[in-house]
């Protein structure tokens, strides 16, 4: 994918979340079953970096469960971060505005006191990142932010497993692109709450994720499907550093 198309798709998604951030947050007041399943496996004292933290619901659920490990949430959407930060004045959570596609986003997270994390999560995040090389660059930074033996846990939207969601796929011509401009697995989906919006989404399969894991020095430990009416709208994977 050429750099101009990458920039256009990133701009499209940024504009979407700036415009519809609060509407999107209103649909994410509860964590997905797959995320709850992941939390069930944690001890609660892990230092956790939550990429694409959105409205901060993961941090709140950890607090409700009594999981007191240090939490850092990162997101580029100011409107979502405003929701996330509300009520945390005296609680052990830090929220940072940063863009995963920026070359130096990881530099804001490493301090002399805090050099690495036990766990990095990215729920419903990577599928909004266009271009395989850009995704690999982000994952290499994630690897460097983890302690030896640390885990990266993520989920990818499996919207093609839903007939209702398939009809949300729009032609690339809506934003002046064609199928030749994008990569296999790339889609344009519409949004219909609080107005009409468009988002870029990549549909991952397990083979593609396995290749990404190997290229970024991880091994896939666990994979499962969850979420949605059919229990197949989210592909969850646990990766461990190697």
Residues 164-212 pLDDT 10s: 999 999 999 999 999 999 999 999 999 887 778 899 999 999 999 999 9
* SS3 at position 200: strand
Q: Which residue range(s) make up the domain with 75?
A: 3-163+203-241
Residue 188 lies in a domain: no
Q: What is the mean pLDDT of the chain?
A: 90
Residue 237 lies in a domain: yes
From the list 111, 28, 35, 18, the residue with the least C-alpha distance to 72 is 111
Average pLDDT score over residue span 92-101: 88
Instruction: Tell me: pLDDT of 66 over 90.
Output: no
User: Tens of pLDDT along 105-115?
Assistant: 988 776 555 66
Residue 176 lies in a domain: no
Question: How buried is 184 (Cβ within 10 angstroms: 0-12 exposed, 13-18 middle, 19+ buried)?
Answer: exposed
The Cα–Cα gap between 76 and 79 comes to: 9
The Cα–Cα gap between 156 and 165 comes to: 14
pTM: 0.90
pLDDT value of residue 11: 94
Residue 51 lies in a domain: yes
* Least reliable range by pLDDT among 70-79, 82-91, 116-125, 186-195: 82-91
Domain tally, the chain:
1
The Cα–Cα gap between 84 and 69 comes to: 18
Residue 181 lies in a domain: no
How many CA atoms does the CB half-sphere of 122 hold within 13 Å?
20
Average pLDDT score over residue span 62-86: 85
Instruction: Tell me: pLDDT of 153 over 70.
Output: yes
Average pLDDT score over residue span 31-59: 92
Residue 189 lies in a domain: no
* Residue % of the chain over a pLDDT of 70: 91
Average pLDDT score over residue span 3-16: 94
Residue 29 lies in a domain: yes
User: Tens of pLDDT along 137-148?
Assistant: 999 999 999 999
pLDDT category at 28 given cuts 50, 70, 90 is low
Residue 170 lies in a domain: no
Residue 54, Cα to own-chain centre: how many angstroms?
Answer: 9
Tell me the CATH number at 26: 3.40.50.150
């Amino acid at each position: 994918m050429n750099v101009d198309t990458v920039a256009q798709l990133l701009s499209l998604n940024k504009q979407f979340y700036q415009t519809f951030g609060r509407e999107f947050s209103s649909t994410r007041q509860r964590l997905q079953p797959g995320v709850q399943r992941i939390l069930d496996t944690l001890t609660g004292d892990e230092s956790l970096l939550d990429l694409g933290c959105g409205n901060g619901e993961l941090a709140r659920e950890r607090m409700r469960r009594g999981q007191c490990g240090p939490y850092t949430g990162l997101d580029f959407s100011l409107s979502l971060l405003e929701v996330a930060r509300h009520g945390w004045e005296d609680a052990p959570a830090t929220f940072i505005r940063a863009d995963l596609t920026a070359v130096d986003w990881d530099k804001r997270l490493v301090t002399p006191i805090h050099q690495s994390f036990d766990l990095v999560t990215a729920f419903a995040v990577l599928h909004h990142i266009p271009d395989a090389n850009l995704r690999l660059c982000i994952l290499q930074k994630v690897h460097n932010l983890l302690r030896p033996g640390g885990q990266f846990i993520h989920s990818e939207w499996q919207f093609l497993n839903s007939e209702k969601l398939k009809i949300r796929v729009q032609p690339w011509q809506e934003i002046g692109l064609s199928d030749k401009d994008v990569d296999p697995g790339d889609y344009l989906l519409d949004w219909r709450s609080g107005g009409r919006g468009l988002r870029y989404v990549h549909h991952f399969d397990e083979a593609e994720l396995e290749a990404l894991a190997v290229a970024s020095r991880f091994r896939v430990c666990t994979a499962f499907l969850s979420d949605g009416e059919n229990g197949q709208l989210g592909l969850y994977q646990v990766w461990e550093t190697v």
